[in-house]
Amino acid sequence: MSRESVQTSKAPAAIGPYSQAIKADRMVFLSGQIALDPSNGQLLAGGVEAQARQAFTNLSAVAEAAGATLANAVKLTLFLTDLKDFSTVNAVMQEFFQPPYPARSTIEVSALPRGACFEVEAILLRQD
């Protein structure tokens, strides 16, 4: 099995010892994305709606760098610091995904990096 790191300047640089994504044959494993602005590495101001939109935008940029799109997503994991924001995140997610939606887990966590209130990671299946 081949493994290849994916990096793009259109998404925030990794803030630790990990890759933005790893391609392994036809699978692409995307690391978690929070609402960091790729141009300056700062957390986007605003609530969960704005943060979710930026995190999905970042995720999309990494997917494209891997030769795929979010339409290739087969599994998402969402992390929220407050499950009361569940319906807001669902509405934002529908801006980025069309049926059939990927499988998904949503988990409430006590904290996320940089004080974010939302994070998303994905597994994609490339069509090549």
For the chain, percent helix, then strand, then coil, each to nearest 5? Answer: 30, 30, 40
**Strand partners for 98:** none
Ordered per-residue pLDDT tens for the chain, 128 residues: 789 999 999 999 988 899 999 999 999 999 999 999 999 999 998 899 999 999 999 999 999 999 999 999 999 999 999 999 999 999 999 999 999 999 999 999 999 999 999 999 999 999 87
- Domain count for the chain: 1
Domain extent at residue 75: 3-125
Q: What is the pTM of this model?
A: 0.96
Going 11 to 70 to 123 to 52, the CA torsion angle's sign is: positive
Which residue has 């760098």 as its token pair?
65
What is the H or E stretch that residue 61 is in? Answer: helix 48-65
User: What CATH number corresponds to the domain at position 57?
Assistant: 3.30.1330.40
What is residue 34's three-state secondary structure? coil
